[in-house]
Structure 1
Amino acid sequence: MLVLLAFIIVFHITSAALLFIATLDNAWWVGEGFYADVWKICINSTNCTEISDAFLDYSTMQAVQATMILSTILCCIAFLIFLLQLFRLKQGERFVLTSIIQLLSCLSVVIAASIYTDRRQELHSQNQNFYALTSEGTYGYSFILAWVAFAFTFISGLMYLILRKRK
């Protein structure tokens, strides 16, 4: 049981780390000489422009930013509640509250990644003088980490739902 508990804790911490990296790092859309994320766009690592309300579809990027932050916060809250429930639940009870919060984190990250996937073309091609260089690129590792974090938080949420407190 101790090995299972250690695996669950490491798996959850890994999920949270993936969410932090995906939210904060500048590699959602990358190409030759530029990289972009949900916060800013940099060309040649020197010319960085923050995404602000000057962009036509700023509300969409705000939705991506908000849901990624929400997923990270919910994942951390789920971990803290798991630790509290670990010592407070009676034997045989399930970690339902932890599971619900972790599945909400999963839902938030899939919403953010889906919005970014759907709107990427419009988000990176509206300002012709700045985004002309960024139209040819690929999804970066932070974007991929967001999808991996989705899978991890989903699996973690299901584990908590199935898991019963045993001796």
Structure 2
Amino acid sequence: MQIGKLIISAALALSVSSCAGLQGNEQLKANSATLINFKQDSDSGTKVAQLMCFKRHLAPYTEIDRNLSPAAHDIFIRVVDYSYMNPALRNRTQWGGIVRQGSYIMLKAPLTAGQIVTIQRRDKDGKSYIWLQDKLTGKAITDAVYTTLQSQFNIDSDYLDKECAKGSV
């Protein structure tokens, strides 16, 4: 009988703490801007435009949304095309591919609390156009900036980490 009460008490405590965690997460999102990376898969590879820096250091690619403080930011974006050595690996968490070409750009963006922002990418005439867009309104919050992807672009993590320290994200 005591074990049954103990199990019920533990389950109740867990559910209450889970609700508190969700409430804290929702409060965090309401007090910050959320940034969502761009990713487009095809049979031959993946096109990405992603937040390059987080907490002023080089950030690995993640499909998890990033919460940023509401402010005017200098946001570094990594624009990369991946090719697949083995197309069967395309849907795995690990890329299973090689970097075909890439580039880096910086966007100046005013972010507000509660705003959800997506990185947008459009490729045209050998150039990649990148901008930030408010997900709820569909309106651009930055001008589109273009870059030409290079087959030999700098992936030196020490150099990129120093660049990240110059930004505000």
Q: Give TM-score, length-normalised by structure 2.
A: 0.27
Q: Kindly indicate which of the two structures has a greater share of residues assigned to helix.
A: 1
Per chain length, whose mean CA-contact separation is higher, i.e. which structure has more relative contact order (CA < 8 Å, sep 6+)? 1
Structure with the greater alpha carbon radius of gyration: 2
Q: Give TM-score, length-normalised by structure 1.
A: 0.27
